[in-house]
Structure 1
């Protein structure tokens, strides 16, 4: 498959020398004959953020209408418009011939981590402990990318049918043209959990950087995985273990106060420093979204901004209502880097809150939720929430979590999970250019089609498309 054939060339070039021209090394280095040998070689691969720590999930973000998009972009990118406009009549399989970044970015990272797992045990200039840590971090990184793939290209997890529905190709080798199997959803989840649980004993409490896996990141990730499987006991257990490692929450009302004059100046759209970058106190592990370079926060649709709680300082600190010509949207007023694909403490608090609500511990659920809310809502608007039912509690938790996990795979995965339960299934409706459209809970749009490139060039295996169109 394309990811196995082309990505390994990239890895070889990275080992030889970052920053030099690809053509130069392709001319002098036979493919497949240079592999990393020292711990420093492997570390260079781990630190390649563009390849290994990026999680573009553009089509799911567009489908959820979590960001505003211009008409010109919708017209230019062929796959964008059907998802953004909830057009079930469009043949997304045939249209997915260019927007393949989710698939190939994930498999590029998986190829890197496979290479590390394959060769790091014999690394030179490294202690056994160094090698064990590197291997553990590779297992966690690989699992995180497989979680993105299975929640993007396959149906959502349901215990009743996960063993019979196909997921995505499972590739465990970095060798060019290595054989692979398209496993079931259950097999993929089992594999993800196995990788992370094996990794935990050798993961450090603190990583070399925020992109290096740690015990806290592994606990938090397992909490995410088990919640997606509706295993609330295990999700709660891992959430508590993650919070024991890091329970800090960022104070958005204080952030707003620091920049109040700039934010409130009429007609001015400042470029405030993004708090959600490498040093965000809520980070367990950092993973970029579509891009890794410094950028302005994605714009929000007006109807999406309306789903923030009244008095939400995060909304007020990150976006400002703007009209340009015929378009009105919430314009991003922070610039920098954003942990859109990684894991934060806010997500884990809200995982804990949902698990407690599912177990009918409503007081405990609201305590976990309010711990996040008090750091998000302006004091003048803040009132501690209480709930009289599990359904009411989850409604509150869900509102906060949707806002905390904007632009990443979690918001998409959560919605698909809720849509399987009639109590929580949601139909979205909007009117765009005079046309009213809806996105129903059972819409086939909730599963993304494999790219045509992967279907036509599967490499040493076969791939069965998971959607009809």
Structure 2
């Protein structure tokens, strides 16, 4: 029997730092699948961890104070600075976010192709589940890409550039960008196919009905369809609602430098202890800050009660000591793996906060606060826990939910939240402000006086630029964003 597979796409090759688009695989190197079991093994190889610089460097949750940069400028790569200042051209050689997500899209297209052709053996039930999972994974990848590289979908933006919608395994497929409206229409079609899945959570690194519903809740909240967001959050929670009690289950470990980390910092991702610990996840997914420097802003840190276990565990004091800083050692936000890794898969706490927001928007303030407190009671020691004050009105209730989301998921959902909040008439929009040195070509001009960088809510800069390598390798088919 022929062995799987396929073009550099299984297992460790998925998380390698090479570029999927830099060198097309040999067409003759592909081997065909023969059974649904082989396809199932193939989908086991989908990467669980992705890069996404805007999530870490482009929000008001991140800051590089001038005194920190002045002490050791070399600790911050120019790529961090380009994103931090919303530069319209990125000089890094590769875009791992784009490359790795299109790798997964290619694999999904392959799975859908062999299933549509009925070219593999296996039960019809298993093949239906695998097809739904492929549609699900493809929807999540395109949604994540759209969040980084496209404007927010509105009626006014319908004809703006979306993404190259690759639907086949043909490496000669057209790479022109579809419209934004067509991109989101395609994502929703994939999502509707995925919702046909009827699989319980058995392996939290693979798809299930609850995981698809949790993603649907996230997707529809982003689009402002609060009725559907509420529906799918409730359905996901009905299937799985367990959360980690941070006081009972978290503790810290101290390294040789005297820096105290959450114990999950010692876990290797995708090992049993990691998967079992994050029991609130519907599906194990994470974002990786390859630079390891997630520096929380003063504004973010001020949102936490000092007794909040999320502050105690994840806000690591004197973090920059690890990189050679002496005077300005700052705080670092660390969650797991000691490799800049942050839980990003849909979770039960996220579903409770989606439910809270949808209730707040209907004026059910008490119901919204009950859902928020369901999360918060698991984030404090019992003796330290006290419910938040009841908001005075609908707008304050919505803001209370947004603030709690910010505390719960500061480096995995704030970029998503800022983009949707900035088209929301019911809540104050968000302006990103930086005080930093001007850029001179591909370097920071530290001899100049620092200037103010202001990114207004309607700025086109929220569609982050495509890497020049992506454009060049498409032979000009894929166009850059306009600014």
TM superposition score normalised by structure 2: 0.80
Name the CA shift for 1:325/1:99 in 2 (closer, same or farther; >3 Å). Answer: farther
1:354 equivalent in alignment to 2:354: no
Question: How far apart, in 2, do the equivalents of 1:271 and 1:340 lie?
Answer: 14
Alignment-derived partner of residue 79 in structure 1: 79
The match for 1:456 is 472
Q: Post-superposition shift, 1:141?
A: 0.4
Partner SS for 1:179: coil
Residue 42 in structure 1 maps to residue 39 in structure 2: yes
Please give the root-mean-square deviation of Cα atoms over the aligned residues, in Å: 3.6
Cα deviation 1:215-248 (Å, max 9, x = unaligned)? 1111111111111111111111111111111111
- In structure 1, how many angstroms separate the alpha carbons of the residues matched to 2:13 and 2:300? 41
1:397–1:309 distance in 2 versus 1, CA, 3 Å: farther
Shift of the 30–363 alpha-carbon distance from structure 1 to 2, 3 Å rule, reads closer
Alpha carbons of structure 1 residues 178 and 393: separation in structure 2 relative to 1, 3 Å: same
1:271-350 aligned at under 5 Å gives the runs 272-274=263-265, 277-279=274-276, 280-290=278-288, 298-322=294-318, 324-331=325-332, 335-336=336-337, 338=341, 340-350=343-353
Q: Which runs of 5+ in 2 are unaligned?
A: 438-448
* Residue of structure 1 equivalent to 2:396: 392
Give the superposition deviation at 1:60: 3.5
CA distance in 2, matches of 1:230, 1:430: 29
Moved more, 444-453 or 228-237: 444-453
Indicate yes or no: 2:56 matched with 1:55. Answer: no
- Aligned partner of residue 407 in structure 1, secondary structure: coil
Could you give the per-residue CA deviations for residues 370-394 of structure 1, whole angstroms, max 9, x where no partner exists?
A: 1111111344242244122121111
SS of the aligned residue for 1:236 comes to helix
Size of the aligned set, in residue pairs, is 439
Equivalent residues in 2 for 1:53-452, closer than 5 Å: 53-64=48-59, 66-67=61-62, 71=69, 77-84=77-84, 86=85, 90=87, 92-93=88-89, 95-121=90-116, 122-158=118-154, 160-207=155-202, 209-256=203-250, 259=251, 267-270=258-261, 272-274=263-265, 277-279=274-276, 280-290=278-288, 298-322=294-318, 324-331=325-332, 335-336=336-337, 338=341, 340-379=343-382, 380-408=384-412, 410-421=413-424, 423-431=427-435, 435=450, 437=452, 438-452=454-468
Task: Quote the offset at 1:329 in angstroms.
Answer: 2.0
Segment of structure 1 superposing worse, 373-382 or 350-359: 373-382
Q: Which moved more, 1:99-108 or 1:383-392?
A: 383-392
2:481 equivalent in structure 1: 466
Identify the range of structure 1 (313-322 vs 376-385) with the bigger mean alpha-carbon deviation.
376-385
**Structure with greater proportional helix content:** 1
Deviation at 1:335, TM superposition (A): 4.0
Q: Does the Cα contact within 8 Å between 1:300 and 1:330 map onto a contact in 2?
A: yes
Change (3 A) 1:278 1:291: farther
Per-residue CA deviations over 1:180-219 (Å, capped at 9, x if unaligned) read 5522222222221221222222341224x21211111111
Does structure 2 conserve the Cα–Cα contact (< 8 Å) formed by 1:11 and 1:112? no
CA distance 1:404–1:165, change in 2 (3 Å): same
Cα distance in 1 for partners of 2:74, 2:100 equals: 22
User: Hey, what's the Cα distance between the residues in 2 that align with 1:221 and 1:309?
Assistant: 29
Indicate conservation of the 8 Å contact 1:298/1:332, yes or no.
yes
Distance 1:446 1:113 in 2: 28
Cα distance change of structure 1 residues 436 and 381 upon mapping to structure 2, 3 Å threshold:
farther
Residues 29-50 of structure 1: CA deviation (Å, up to 9, x unaligned): 8635522222243233212243
Q: Secondary structure at the match of 1:55?
A: strand
**2:162 alignment partner, SS class:** strand
**Shift of residue 306, structure 1, vs aligned partner:** 2.5
Structure 1 unmatched ranges of 5 or more: 1-8
Q: Tell me, what secondary structure is at the counterpart of 1:103?
A: helix
Quote how far apart the aligned CAs of 1:101 are.
1.2
What's the CA shift for 1:309? 3.7
